[in-house]
Amino acid sequence: MKRTIFFLSVISLLFCAQLSAKKPSNNLRLLYWNIQNGMWSEQGSGYVNFVKWVSEQKPDICVWCEGESHYKTGSDEDLPENERYLVANWSELAARYGHKYTYVGGHRDNYPQVITSKYPIENVERIIGNVDTLVAHGSGWVRIKVKGKTLNIVTVHTWPQAYSYYAQTPEAKEQSSAEFGGNYFRRTEIEYICHHTIDSLPGAKKQFWMMMGDFNSRSIVDSAQYKNLDPSSYLVHNYVREHTPYLDVIEKTRTKYVSSTYSGKRIDFVYVTPKLMKHVKDAQIVWDDYTTPVLEPNHLRNFKIPSDHLPIIVDFKF
């Protein structure tokens, strides 16, 4: 395991120089991160290191996946809902790194996506699907006006399992996994989200749209990194690439593969429309002394410290 961490650290040094925390006043900085169970590894210390790191990045807008507290500190025992600091106290936590506004997207379970911002956030729609198409972890669509521009922001966290959401029994889960049921379920989720966001307004290609999150899916762009993957593994991002105007920011700005997870996969993405892509100055999957994942000492549910995912920072210049 130490060799794995060393290898991933080398990747970060070779391919992903840290972004400067100094940001020109005419820039907009987006910080996205799946913070694993409401940044579980930080809750016992009052999120001090988390707040310090976020403050140093100077983001204008943050998007957090898994924005709710789940487990007791140092344990994999479930927290009673009345003892969960997040999501109820995101306003308090965000204020510590300079964000006045907060937003919780739609969700069916305790895995919401949260947006915090220096600018007012307008809810357009909280998305959880319908009786025919479920969106398991939900989604959110907001508008934020910045420097005279209206940004449409869509958050995503698709179903994480190899089996379909509808597989309930152990036998059904095994069968569904063998048939790549999770890949096909995620494909229905992303189509539903896109239909109810970017597809719902005419002329979106010429508007400022961004969509980001933990897609739990890999992109055909990175296929050389993966072996023996079923073609269904690429269904989610193939849909985005073929049926929406979105562009993959990391693909367009980086020349070397960098994973977004401890496991070596790139499953976290930031997409933007062509009009907004023209304003992208830089983008990085950030591996540094704080964000590089380390296996939790007691191997609790395979948790990582601080998270099993890496953050993505995108700088826009207007």
Confidence band of 22 (pLDDT split at 50, 70, 90): low
Confidence band of 18 (pLDDT split at 50, 70, 90): very low
Check whether 51 has a pLDDT greater than 50.
yes
In a domain, 246, yes or no: yes
Check whether 24 has a pLDDT greater than 90.
no
**Largest interatomic CA distance in the chain:** 56
Check whether 49 has a pLDDT greater than 90.
yes
What residues form DSSP beta bridges with 127? 139
Q: What percent of the chain has pLDDT over 90?
A: 86
In this structure, what CATH number is given to the domain that contains residue 173?
3.60.10.10
Instruction: State residue 12's pLDDT score.
Output: 47
In a domain, 20, yes or no: no
d(CA 313, CA 282): 8
Token pair belonging to 263: 């496991």
Check whether 102 has a pLDDT greater than 70.
yes
Check whether 16 has a pLDDT greater than 80.
no
Check whether 259 has a pLDDT greater than 60.
yes
Instruction: State residue 23's pLDDT score.
Output: 58
In a domain, 11, yes or no: no
In a domain, 4, yes or no: no
What's phi and psi for 114, nearest 5 deg?
-125, 140
Exposure string of 105-125, with b = 16+ CB inside 10 Å and e = fewer, is bbbeebbbbbbbbbbebeebe
Instruction: State residue 295's pLDDT score.
Output: 94
Check whether 78 has a pLDDT greater than 50.
yes
Instruction: State residue 26's pLDDT score.
Output: 67
Q: What is the mean pLDDT of residues 29-49?
A: 97
Confidence band of 7 (pLDDT split at 50, 70, 90): very low
Check whether 5 has a pLDDT greater than 50.
no
Query: What are the pLDDT digits (tens) for 143-166?
Result: 999 989 999 999 999 999 999 999
| Total structural domains within the chain | 1
In a domain, 208, yes or no: yes
Secondary structure in 3-state letters for the chain: CHHHHHHHHHHHHHHCCCCCCCCCCCEEEEEEEECHHHHHHHHCCCCHHHHHHHHHHCCCEEEEECCCCCECCCCCCECCHHHCCCCCCHHHHHHHCCCCEEEECCCCCCCCCEEEECCCCEEEEEEEECCCCEEEEEEEEEEEEECCEEEEEEEEECCCCCCCCCCCCHHHHHHHHHCCHHHHHHHHHHHHHHHCCHHHCCCHHHCCEEEEEECCCCCHHHHHHCCCCCHHHHHHHHHHHHHCCCEEHHHHHCCCCCCCECCCCCCEEEEECHHHHCCEEEEEECCCCCCCCEECCCCHHHCEECCCECCEEEEEEC
Check whether 1 has a pLDDT greater than 60.
no
Q: The pTM is what?
A: 0.92
Query: What are the pLDDT digits (tens) for 165-199?
Result: 999 999 999 999 999 999 999 999 999 999 999 99
In a domain, 3, yes or no: no
Q: What is the mean pLDDT of residues 82-103?
A: 97
In a domain, 2, yes or no: no
Check whether 262 has a pLDDT greater than 80.
yes
Check whether 15 has a pLDDT greater than 80.
no
Domain that holds residue 103: 27-317
Instruction: State residue 48's pLDDT score.
Output: 98
Check whether 85 has a pLDDT greater than 50.
yes
Query: What are the pLDDT digits (tens) for 267-304?
Result: 999 999 999 999 999 999 999 999 999 999 988 888 99
Confidence band of 17 (pLDDT split at 50, 70, 90): very low
In a domain, 5, yes or no: no
Residue appearing with tokens 């007691």: 298
